[in-house]
Amino acid sequence: MSVIIYSTPTCPYCKQAKQYFKEHNVQYEEKDVSADSAAQAEMTKKSGGFMGVPVIDINGTIITGFDKPKIEAALKS
């Protein structure tokens, strides 16, 4: 399973998503879009131009924001 979270250090929803992953033992890669312009470009391309964070990529399923039902569904598939 591949999980990538595009985030910034000050984003409260990013922190909630990362905490959720930790509580459910989900390994993830974090990309800080505030410090990495390549990661920011990758995030906006994957999300169709969405500029907010978090953007979460679970096996190619793109989720914008901390949407727990969508995250849970993507993790199960």
Domain count, the chain: 1
pTM of the predicted structure, to 2 decimals: 0.95
Range of the domain at 50: 3-76
Whole-number pLDDT of residue 40: 97
Confidence (pLDDT) at 1 = 87
Quote the CA–CA distance of 30 and 46 in Å, as a whole number: 15
Phi, psi of 74 (to 5 degrees): -65, -35
What gap in Å lies between CA 76 and CA 68, rounded to an integer? 12
Residue 38: CATH number of its domain = 3.40.30.10
pLDDT in tens, 6-64: 999 999 999 999 999 999 999 999 999 999 999 999 999 999 999 999 999 999 999 99
Q: In the prediction, which pLDDT does 58 show? A: 98
pLDDT at 34: 96
- The predicted pLDDT at position 75 comes to 96
